[in-house]
Structure 1
Amino acid sequence: MIVGSEQEKSRAKQQEFLLGKLEPTPGQQFLQQIIDNSYDSIFVTDKYGNVLLANSGTGVFMGYTTEELIGKNVENLVKKGAYDWSPTMKAIKTRTVVSGIVRNKHGIQEMATSKPLLDEKGEIVMVITNARDKDLVEEYIAALEKERSIVHRYKTAVEYLSEVDSGNKEIVAESPQMKQIIKTSNVIAKTDSTVMLIGETGTGKEVMARHIHRNSYRSKEPFIPVNCAAIPHDLLESEFFGYVRGAFSGANPQGKPGLFEIADKGTLFLDELAELPLSMQSKLLRVLESSEIKRLGDTNIHNINVRFIAATNRDLKTMINQKQFRSDLYYRLNVIPINLPALKDRPEDILAFAHKFLEELNKKYSLKKQFSTQATQLLFNYNWPGNVRELRNVIERLVITSSSDILNFDEDSLVNRKPSLKNEQRCQQISRDYQGTLKNVIKSVEEEYINQVLAECGGRIREAAQRLGIHRTMLYRKLKDNK
């Protein structure tokens, strides 16, 4: 009872202060300054709707000074046209929090919320109302939606990329051809020009696309690789353009951004471009020309800023003649063509790749395996029709299946392919049980030592040539003569 009596006395003093009957304490003065300097409209009424306190924001909205508002009833303010309805009175009647948009006599709208404060008996003591300009609220909502959309886009990008096989993404360039391509790509990377990568399967087109993106001004934005051959034709449009909620049965109920949207401000890599059907080719052309997209089921058009890199292992000009590929799309994408040579045409890169893959696998499986002289020679001599991808698969198979730390191809399928009789004969000659003339023995020792140094140098021709004390062109010649 004493506690309740004290609470009632305290509440009575608060109301007397609000009605101006008591001098405010320093703390109350400080509170009044906070309320007066609030950007939002704030006012307090008693349980009958009589204004006890109001700040300047409320006065401006109502068209009264704060002093004029004190003691006025909100229902009378509505009748006089100060504003169109009172959330305060509705909160008193319903005894709940009430929110809504109110309009003043000048047509200005605010988003208002009225909250009744109840005592321990459930009786209303006062009602606190705060309001903010409706346009500002809508701006905040729009900004939040934009941020939410960006977060959703990046979340989708992360989910998409987590499903993509990253594989070998580090570029290797020991050969003169690849060094020149790298030099050219570094210049191209600084532009937004569309690039067409042309090369056989397994030549590293995605690795090159990533290199261009990594050295571009878009490097901090998403790199989205898309295998056009891996997407079913009936899903292409929804995958590329995305869709809104309820666009079609079975769709994500939240909607989904498409690949164009996910790659916004970044790079979209279109691998296996030739596999796109003609219907999708025309839609892609439209995006390339307008930089505009529209999700399935949406009425809004969105602008995108995407750098396109395309890749193919097929002859697109022949496909154009056969009416299988659009010529306008070809010329729109083929702005800067880059031809990636097959691995057999850049032998200097073979051993560099082989030792790189071996190093990765040794690290992954905590091994210390090395190539034998015979293995090094076979790697260099084989023509690698599957290019870098085949080379990596062969190295991985050899590492996993070999019980010895010295890797030989004796039981590997590569030997069974017999790339050339000359190579097979050469491999049979490699032996430490030297026979024949002194000239032949010296040649055999030279070959073994060259292979040993190459292995120790990780297949890097320049470094091996320096250790051997010969020019690299001489080393190339000796390797070719040994085939």
Structure 2
Amino acid sequence: MVTKYRKEITTSSNYSIYEKNILNNTTMNRIVKENTNSISILDAYGNVLLVFIGVKVGNLVGRNVKEIGKYGMYEVSMSEKAIKAHSTVIGVVNSRFGTSQVVSSTPIKDENGNIIMVINTALDKQLYDNLKMTLKDGKATNETFKKVIDYLSDANIPYETPVAESPQMREIIKNIDTIAKTHSTILITGESGTGKEVIARYIHKHSLQAEGPFIPINCASIPHELLESEFFGYVGGAFTGANPQGKPGLFEIANNGTLFLDEIAELPLTMQPKLLRVLESGEIKRVGGTDIIRTNVRLIAATNKDLKTMVRQNLFRNDLYYRLNVLPINIPPLRERPEDIVALSKRFLEYINKKYNLKKRFTEQAINAFLNYSWPGNVRELRNVVERLAITSPDDNIGNINIHLLLDGNSLEESNITTGTYLPHENKIYQGTLKSFLKKVEAEYIKQVLDICNGKVGEAAKLLGIHRTMLYRKIKNNTKAIDSQ
């Protein structure tokens, strides 16, 4: 049988390996001695039929495992355990030569279930330990990536479902429910703070890739020189400081999911054709690598800039713009959808109440003030103002004056709040220079806040957003301005 097998082993040049005399006695001895692993075959009684191990074959073939054990060749026989158990047994075997192996003994049975032989395979324990450590490190790395993906996919955003009380937003959500089930690229436009990422997350959760990760990336936050390696990853040693084991890119991490590229207008021109190629082919190649990696990623891009104008100014590639603008969504500013202002403010307040165990509520005057304000910062500004109001309001009823104090320093003209609503003397006529007018208004403002805070300078300073020392100084300097009125 061995002779027949030898005749069948040939090279591509159709001559036998043995005719080349490669596997001569010297080579075979080296293979046996230098190989740390082994394979052996025993019959059902534990007699060695064939062995490939780092000892002389003649010492073992034909002997029984019990006899070999008596000579102290090893401490325990996995073969004996496998014969007794009628199943595969794995364990560590130490030999008298100072070696340790992880041995797997597998019984081979006939059609009646009787053991006819046992096959042992062994791996050097040191190699096994190294392999186990590698697998452990790999598992830890995979777990890290999984945690990152889980975090990015299900970010703790209390406002992740879009508010759609206005006709404009209802129409947008209606369209999203249709386009979300496709694989086409989506471009979301709108002013800063309108909630483009919230819309992107909503699309992902209703898409065919909903079970995959949602990876949001702000293109403006990544240094230009690192964009390619962040997007596509790199192989070990690709550049100075690179991880020796390499690193997957965002397209690999987002595979079978959604990649959200916010502020896409900030993507440099040198990077734009590379992104276009991925969108066209679905293939990426790590920096420094040669292997082509297929990806299945749904891309959603967003910007608050006019990409058409940027294309005309040669600041954005025409071909990439049309590749991104397959399914456009434009989110109107908050000032154009007052129904959403009321709904969003209540949702934000409900969340803050739960977070800080509060019982704050808006009065009718507060809601009216919200509706009369232009909200240049859109949903983001509304959220911040609601949080500040809920935390700093002296009582549970959030009234008109509290909102005016916390409109983030915006002017009366910006907020569309009349002086009759804002200042205590609505028929007052001021005269003098602009500087003197502003000084008198500031004096009245400070006096009003002090009255609300019952003269407590610390609380008044907090509401005004200035340091206590500065407030003391302003009170002193403005006393004459108040008295002169």
CA distance in 1, matches of 2:257, 2:311: 29
Match runs of 1:402-421 below 5 Å:
402-410=393-401, 412-414=405-407, 417-419=411-413
2:149 alignment counterpart: 157
Aligned partners of 2:104 and 2:245: how far apart in 1?
38
- 3-state SS of the aligned residue for 2:271? helix
Partner residue, 1:103: none
Q: Which amino acid aligns with 2:405?
A: D
Matched, 1:364 2:355: yes
- 1:43 and 2:37 aligned: no
Residues of 1 paired with 2:142 and 2:255: CA distance? 10
Q: Which of 218, 243, 251 is equivalent to 2:209?
A: 218
1:250 corresponding residue in structure 2 = 241
Contact 2:366 2:398 in 1 (8 A): yes
Q: How does 1:190-209 map to 2 (within 5 A)?
A: 190-209=181-200
Check conservation: 1:243, 1:255, Cα contact below 8 A: yes
C-alpha separation in 1, matches of 2:410 and 2:74 = 87
Partner of 1:99: none
Partner amino acid, structure 1, of 2:146: Y
Q: Alpha-carbon deviation of 1:413?
A: 3.9
Work out whether residues 153 and 213 of structure 2, in 8 Å CA contact, stay in contact via their aligned partners in 1.
Answer: no
The equivalent of 1:188 in structure 2 is 179
Paired position in structure 2 for 1:310: 301
Specify the alignment match of 2:367 in structure 1: 376
Matched, 1:327 2:318: yes
- Tell me which residue corresponds to 2:334: 343
| 258 and 368 in structure 1: CA distance in 2 versus 1, 3 angstrom threshold | same
Cα distance in 1, alignment partners of residues 211 and 230 from structure 2: 23
Distance 1:413 1:429, change over 3 A: closer
Contact 1:398 1:409 in 2 (8 A): no
The structural deviation recorded for 1:405 is 1.2
Deviation, 1:115, is 5.8
Aligned to 2:33: none
Report the CA distance shift for 1:361/1:422 in structure 2 as closer, same or farther (over 3 A): closer
Structure 1 residue 289, shift from structure 2 partner: 0.9
Corresponding residue number in structure 1 for 2:264: 273
2:291 and 2:74 map into 1 onto residues whose CA distance is 42
- C-alpha displacement at 1:248, in angstroms? 2.0
Deviation at 1:295, TM superposition (A): 1.5
Q: What CA distance in whole angstroms lies between the structure 2 residues aligned with 1:155 and 1:241? A: 20
- Give the aligned residue type for 1:43: I
SS in 2 for 1:277: coil
Per the TM alignment, residue 249 of structure 1 is displaced from its structure 2 partner at its CA by: 2.1
CA contact (8 A) 1:195 1:310 kept: yes
1:400 matched to 2:394: no
1:421–1:388 distance in 2 versus 1, CA, 3 Å: closer
Query: Over residues 256-314 of structure 1, what are the superposed CA-to-partner deviations in whole Å (9 max), with x where a residue is unaligned?
Result: 21111110000000100000001111110011111111112222111100000011111
Q: Which amino acid aligns with 1:265?
A: N
Secondary structure in 2 matching 1:171: coil
Partner Cα distance (2:240, 2:415) in 1 = 61
Taking a change above 3 Å as real, the CA distance of residues 159 and 239 of structure 1, as seen in their structure-2 partners, is farther
What is the CA-CA distance between 1:428 and the residue it aligns to? 6.4
CA distance in 2 between counterparts of 1:232 and 1:320 reads 22
* Aligned counterparts of 1:422 and 1:157: Cα–Cα separation in 2: 44
CA distance in structure 2 between the partners assigned to 1:350 and 1:402 by the alignment: 20
Contact 1:268/1:308 (<8 A) preserved:
yes
SS at structure 1 position matched to 2:366: helix
1:76–1:368 Cα change, 3 Å: closer
- One-letter amino acid of the counterpart of residue 412, structure 2: K
Q: Quick one: distance in 2 between partners of 1:419 and 1:270?
A: 36
| Higher deviation after alignment, 398-407 or 208-217 | 398-407
Give the letter aligned to residue 47 of structure 2.
L
2:128 equivalent to 1:130: no
Unaligned residue ranges in structure 2 (runs of 5+): 1-37, 62-70, 76-90, 106-118, 123-130, 425-485
Deviation at 1:421, TM superposition (A): 8.7
Asked if the contact 2:218–2:261 (Cα under 8 Å) also holds between the matched residues in 1, the reply is: yes
Cα distance change, pair 219–270 in 1 and its aligned pair in 2 (3 A): same
Aligned AA (1:378): A
Quick one: structure 1 residues 380 and 116, their matched pair in 2 at CA, closer, same or farther if it must change by over 3 Å? closer
- Counterpart of 2:440 in structure 1 is none
Q: 1:166 to 1:230 in 2, by over 3 A?
A: farther
Residue 276 of structure 2, aligned match among 285, 288, 292: 285
Measured at CA, do residues 340 and 280 of structure 1 come closer, stay the same or move farther in structure 2, by a change above 3 Å?
A: same
Distance 1:221 1:228, change over 3 A: same
Corresponding residue pairs, total:
331
CA shift, 1:246, in A, is 2.1
Distance 1:297 1:161, change over 3 A: farther
Distance 2:104 2:369 in 1: 88
Shift of 1:150: 6.2
Assess if the C-alpha contact under 8 Å between 1:153 and 1:261 holds in 2. no
Q: Check 1:424–1:352 CA distance in 2 against 1; reply closer, same or farther (3 A cut).
A: same
Name the residue aligned to 2:226. 235
Residue segments in structure 1 that go unaligned for 5+ positions in a row:
1-39, 46-50, 63-72, 79-91, 97-112, 133-139, 431-483
Residue identity in the other structure for 1:242:
G
| Cα distance in 2 between the residues matched to 1:407 and 1:371 | 5
Aligned letter for 2:229? S
- Separation in 1 of the partners of 2:422 and 2:334? 25
Q: What is the CA-CA distance between 1:52 and the residue it aligns to?
A: 5.3
Shift of 1:365: 0.8
Shift of 1:117: 4.6
The equivalent of 1:104 in structure 2 is: none
Across the aligned residues of Structure 1 and Structure 2, the Cα RMSD in angstroms comes to 4.2
Distance 2:416 2:335 in 1: 16
